[in-house]
Amino acid sequence: MYAIITISIVAIIVLFLGAIQKKTPLLPIIFVGLPVAFIINLLGWNQSIHYYNEMYIADNFSIAFNAVLIFTTLLVFIFAPVYYKPVKRPLEDIYALILFALIGALTMTGFGNILMLFVGIETMSLSLYILAGSKKFDPNSNEAAMKYFLTGSFASGFLLFGIALIYGACGSMNLETIKEFVVAHHNNIPAMLNIGLLLVAIGMTFKIGAAPFHFWAPDVYEGSPTLITTFMATVGKVAAIAAFFRLMSSSFSDMESSWVVTLTIFAIATILIGNLSAFYQDNVKRMFAYSGIAHAGYMLIAIIALKQQAAGVLLLYSISYTIATITAFAVLILVREETGTFSINAFKGLAKHNPTEAFAMTIAMLSLAGIPPLVGFAAKYNLFIAAIEQGHLPLVIVAIVGSMISVYYYIRPVVAMYFNLPSATSAIDSSSNYKKQIFLAAFLMIVLGLIPGVIINLI
């Protein structure tokens, strides 16, 4: 709650400084403001405070996810000077919009009332629509913004209609009251509530980019500026999945029979479509879009296996996915700066010129593929165990097959980096900021892979 206020203040200060054409203090203010928000957020640990008539609940779940989201945003901002080096204007609008999107994301993890969920989703989505089109003179960026906006507002329509039906059935939008209603009407759940939940699930599935509502993701991820894609693929996805999990676990866990089958089908379709489509991509950025879809499918498993400590597993999975994706995108930004292309061939011989970057990319790819001892393996392992204990064996088999497919396309850039002859490009000059972040991410991926239990038992 106070983290949200802190970030709002930082965003407004950034906007003001931009308005008076100050360029230099923008990023330092963000680099001070976000860690402060991070600490303020953690101060509420174990207190579980309900704010403003249960509109916002700062329990351990929301605090842990908020910490992940704020930290991820901080990492994204570390790349901003590298990515926006050629741009001379202050860029206050882009920074402020990223912060506004973060505020929306923080609202989504801790909502106690479906109204807050909707406001949070809209704040995040609206900022992301604009950010997707922030490269104004690039037709791809315009296309991405337009596609994202049209499909996204359609999904918001579904979500809102679903919320209206749930409100009509339960007479309240408070998560607790809805849960009481569900428990009281356990034997005869009204059809209206079922359909409302289905429509809300459609809206949320769209926001996390899972099949069958994933069609926007590849084009939007490919067309948006790479830094924004990084933000979208990490913060946007984690916030949406956390919100979905919170909704299901705090209100609808007692009417599982009406949504588990649907979500299982969604998850199976997502894992298969994501992995099989990524298989054929030569454009690494597009490949990451499909890999993001596949990972959304894995994260849906956590919602399906709700009862087995799944919150902690989902947190671990989110952390592993976020760190690996950010590292991979960081290297991708560098390679793209140098070679001007996102093609897989651009990675040829990277290991020879830039061993650090190549190593970080390798770690990230192996972690995403789920190879021990990295954190990606620990996350997937615990997720599958939780699902098996709940009796979702077919789903887990599909997920494992999907993981095996994914190894192929995650290894391709690694092979290109280490075993192919270097193309004509010279060494990539990486600025100092950048290396520290890469080391930090690689370190986190290895260490968290060794102690996954700490994270899982956290919430």
Partner 1 sequence: MLSLYVFFFLSAVTLVSAVMVLLSKKPIHSVLYLTLTFFTLAGHYIMLNAQFLAVVHIIVYAGAIMVLFLFTVMLLNLNIEGEFQKSTVMKFVAAIAGGMIFLVLIGTLKSFDVTTVGDPSMTQIGLVKNLGKTLYSQYLMPFELSSILFLSAMVGAVMLGKKDKN
Residues near partner 1 (CB under 8 A): 8, 12, 15, 51-53, 55-56, 86-89, 93-94, 96-97, 100-101, 103-104, 107, 113, 115-116, 119-120, 122-123, 126-127, 129-130, 133-134, 136-137, 165, 168-171, 190-192, 194-195
DSSP H or E stretch at residue 364 = helix 355-369
Nearer to partner 1, 134 or 234 (CB): 134
- Pick 92 or 357: Cβ nearer partner 1: 92
Burial of 136 (0-12, 13-18, 19+ CB in 10 A): exposed
Least distance in angstroms from the C-beta of 100 to partner 1 = 4
Helix (H, G, I), strand (E, B) or coil at 305: coil
> 352: which DSSP letter?
H
Q: In whole angstroms, how far apart are CA 213 and each of 82, 134, 283? A: 33, 24, 22
> Toward partner 1, which CB reaches closer, 109 or 134?
134
Tokens 């007479």 correspond to what residue?
Answer: 171
Cα(238)–Cα(233) distance, integer angstroms: 8
Choose between 185 and 352: whose C-beta lies nearer to partner 1.
Answer: 185
What's the rounded Cα separation, in Å, for the pair 51 and 55? 6
List Cβ neighbours of 145 (8 Å cut-off, separation of 6 or more). Answer: 129, 130, 132, 133, 223, 224
CB of 195 to partner 1, least distance (A): 4
Nearer to partner 1 among residue 191 and residue 415 (C-beta): 191
Minimum distance from residue 209 beta carbon to partner 1 (Å)? 20
CA distance 120 to 374: 33
Rounded to a whole number of angstroms, the minimum distance from the CB of residue 4 to partner 1 is 8
Per residue in 104-129, is it b (16+ CB within 10 Å) or e — as a string?
bbbbbbbbbbbebbbbbbbbbbbbbb
Buried b (16+ CB within 10 A) or exposed e, 414-453: bebbbebeeeeeeeeebeeebeebbeebbebbeebbeebe
Please state, in angstroms and rounded to a whole number, the distance separating the CA atoms of residues 125 and 239: 11
In degrees and rounded to multiples of 5, residue 89 shows phi and psi of -75, 165
CB of 101 to partner 1, least distance (A): 8
CB of 236 to partner 1, least distance (A): 14
Provide, rounded to whole angstroms, the least separation between the CB of residue 70 and partner 1: 16
Pairing outcome for strands 56-58 and 49-51:
antiparallel
How do the residues of the chain divide into helix, strand and coil, expressed in percent and rounded to 5?
80, 0, 20
Toward partner 1, which CB reaches closer, 216 or 409?
216
**Tokens 């190879």 sit at which residue?**
371
Closest separation between CB of residue 165 and partner 1, Å?
7
Distance, CA of 36 to CA of 42 (rounded, Å): 10
Beta bridge partners of 56: 51, 111
Q: Which is nearer to partner 1, 8 or 253 (CB)?
A: 8
Least distance to partner 1 from the beta carbon of 156, Å?
12
Q: Which is nearer to partner 1, 15 or 440 (CB)?
A: 15
Nearer to partner 1 by Cβ, of 95 and 377: the residue is 95
Considering beta carbons, is residue 161 or 359 the nearer one to partner 1?
A: 161
Q: Which is nearer to partner 1, 195 or 440 (CB)?
A: 195
Cα four-point dihedral sign 165, 171, 175, 177: negative
CB of 187 to partner 1, least distance (A): 15
Least gap, CB of 232 to partner 1 (angstroms): 15
